[in-house]
Structure 1
Amino acid sequence: MGASSGHIELSRTVSSIQVGARHRHDLGDIDGLAASVHKYGLLQPITITPDGVLVCGARRLAAIKKLGWETVRVWVRSGISGPLAYLLAEQDDNVLHKPLTQLEQAGLYREINELLREDAERRKEATQFSSEHQPGDDGPAKFAGPSETSGDRRKQAANMIPGGASYATLDKVTWLQDMAADPDQPDHIHHQAEHELANIEQGGPVHPAWQRIRDLTATAATSRSENAARLAEEALAKLQAEQRTAGKKRPATTKPKAPVASEMEAWPPRTFVHTWQGFAPGWWDHFDVLILVDKLTATEIDEFFTFVDDATAFAEQIRAALATPTLTGMEQRSHLKAI
């Protein structure tokens, strides 16, 4: 017996596993799957609830029944909600509680989709592991590996909900729920998303609500991008002003030293601080790399790389100076030049 993330693996009698009416009716080529299971074994257990109700693996269960197995390895999945457990155990399409609201459908859809995703991931891992340790051309098809795409899985999850909407509509409802709960979104988006969800719960249409919130988030993202650009411009202007001020405050000397070509003008420490503090935190997250590569000239990209390389080299000099705090200022400068 093993346990992992709310799952317990154990053996169960096949006859004790309940199959509700919500699993797909078109199970595909069960004969081929049964032959694969007979030859190679069941690579990935089916998933059931603690009460023995099938969650994932209708095709695998049909195959082992065809083979006449009396027991089978199963994953017992804890943490399944009461409404979903009821839905999975439903034996008669006509025996239903009150019709589900759009938000109730979305909650079940999200939960079923996650269970199917977990099952597909485990089957993929089991298939890859087995195919890597077999002779010859043993691909996933030979080992009855998972064939569902994300769209197939979402469609299957939507089809398991009685009277449910399409998976595209349910995806929009779950996205609205995510926007209402996302701490990174502005308050006005939270409030508007909650308002739209309340309207949907009362029977309002989903697509117009989704479109309105999508437009709001796009506007907010544009505003954040423009704000970041403004901050960057202000930081640059501030830096240039600091540089001009630093140049004007240089004290005059009666005996000026001969200029040294290799020495640059030393700016005050506060200018250094203002230089890197002037950039907005995480400014790089506000740019699309593919757009930059498409729009910037080769010269502009080279200038950026040069800036980054020079800044990195300077950072290494600072680290080296911190590592040798006992040296005098003159000794440190000599040491840094030698690096």
Structure 2
Amino acid sequence: MSTAPAGHIELERTVDSITVGHRHRRDLGDLTALVESIRRNGLLQPITITLDGHLICGARRLAAIRELGWKTVNVWVRSGVSDRLGQLLAEQDDNLLHKPLTQLEAAALYRELKTLLAEDAARRQEATRFHAGADAGDDGSANLAAPWDTTPGEARAQAARMVTGRASYTTLERIGRLEDLAADESQPESVRQQAAVEVERIKAGGKVHPSHLRVNAALSLAELDQLAADPTQPDKLREQARAEAAAVRSAEREAKTVEMEALAHAALARVKAAKAAGRKPQRRTLAPVETGDPVPYPLTVFLNTWDDLTGWWRHYDPELVGPALSTEQWGRFEQTIAGTLAFADAARTARASRAEQTA
């Protein structure tokens, strides 16, 4: 019997005693190759279960050994699984057995589950290293049918789907990042305080994306402050960093959250460019944002915005939303849609033109 990793106990357990929760009931794909591999080589990587016998990792392996008619199987019993995650793994009625999760609760379960799935993937890779691909990548994880060789990105998607029913993990990752920054003693105090404030906002029902942007702005400002205070930097560079940070802060009252993140990001980029070039920096003043002169955002803001909007229409009933909006609200909605379509047309044309140039 192999030595179980820390936090696990390896036992032999009856196959029928292992339960699979609702979220695991997915199309597991063609099991033929995996069944033959286990028949030939045995189960190289035990499946992982909770103390109560609920499956954490190994749905395909479990299905394959059931097809082979095995009565017992070696399992790793994972200690330290939280009660809430145990409920999630055991549920049979798609979240009907307990109250809905808050955003912070969902993020905590996501992080816990992602760690377990990543552990399982790493152990499977190690177990199959010397078996010429016979079982490599075929053992599968608890939630998705494919692909079987779980990468970090796939572990995130699997964990997110098991917790929220969706594969999008961006919001859950952002909450975890805010919590990490709030607790990270190596971060500047201003960043830690801002992150702690944002965690409390989310706890009170606030949206994650604005909090994420505000902390990004705080990180950029903290780095500008560090450059301004660094005696090893040239005086002109320190002066530029000081001026850029002051200009961003002076615009804070008028700027929207997303604009603040963009302003701070751009200011830091200018100082870093001056530092890298070793040239005499130019002092630039940031004016408050005005309605007729929108601030150009970096590409990261665009990507973050659309990550948050992924599949948004699936969460609303148009027959309820349409009549509920005021004339002004509906006008803003129509304007946003029209602007988005015009932007998409222009971006599509630019994309096609670039493709032709590089063909």
Q: TM-score, normalised by structure 1?
A: 0.63
Counterpart of 1:74 in structure 2 is 75
Superposed, 1:188-267 pairs within 5 Å as 188-228=190-230, 230-231=231-232
Matches within 5 A, 1:123-134: 123-128=124-129, 130-131=130-131
Q: Which amino acid in structure 2 is aligned with residue 67 of structure 1?
A: L
Q: List alignment gaps of at least 5 residues for structure 2.
A: 140-147, 236-272, 279-359
Which one-letter code corresponds to 2:155 in the other structure?
R
Change (3 A) 1:7 1:205: same
- What does residue 175 of structure 1 align with? 177
Q: Which residue identity does 2:138 align to in structure 1?
A: A
Per-residue deviation, residues 31-56 of structure 1 (Å, max 9, x unmatched)? 22112211221110000111111111
Percent identical across equivalent pairs? 53
Partner of 1:157: 159
Instruction: Give the partner amino acid of 1:46.
Output: I
Conserved? CA contact 2:48–2:75, under 8 Å: yes
Instruction: Give 1:169 deviation, angstroms.
Output: 0.9
- Output the CA distance in 2 between the equivalents of 1:167 and 1:39: 37
Count of paired positions: 231
Deviates more, 1:7-16 or 1:88-97: 88-97
Report the CA distance between 1:74 and its aligned residue: 0.5
Letter in 2 for 1:198: E
Q: Secondary structure at the match of 1:161?
A: helix
Q: Is the 8 A contact 1:21 1:91 kept in 2?
A: yes
Measure how far apart 1:76 and its partner are. 0.7
Task: Answer whether contact 1:105 1:164 (CA < 8 A) is retained.
Answer: no
1:106 and 1:165, CA in 2 relative to 1: closer, same or farther beyond 3 A? farther
> 1:143 deviation in Å?
6.6
Shift of residue 158, structure 1, vs aligned partner: 0.6
Which residue in 1 is equivalent to 2:251?
Answer: none
Q: Per-residue deviation at 1:232? A: 5.7
Cross-structure match for 1:284:
none
Does the aligned pair in 2 maintain the 1:36–1:143 contact within 8 Å? no
What are the residue-to-residue correspondences of 1:1-339 with 2, within 5 Å?
A: 2-23=3-24, 25-93=26-94, 95-128=96-129, 130-131=130-131, 138-139=132-133, 144=138, 146-162=148-164, 166-228=168-230, 230-231=231-232
Q: 1:99-141: per-residue Cα shift (whole Å, max 9, x none)? A: 110000000000000000111111011011x32xxxxxx2366
Distance of 2:198 and 2:166 partners within structure 1: 19
SS at match of 2:87: helix
Paired letter, 1:183: E
Question: 1:38/1:226 Cα in 2 relative to 1: closer, same or farther (>3 Å)?
Answer: farther
Report how far residue 4 of structure 1 moved: 3.0
Q: Which amino acid aligns with 1:36?
A: S
Deviations 1:34-84 (A, max 9, x none): 122112211100001111111111111111111111111100100111101
Partner SS state of residue 96, structure 2: coil
- TM-score w.r.t. structure 2 length? 0.59
C-alpha separation between the residues in 1 aligned to 2:168 and 2:5?
32
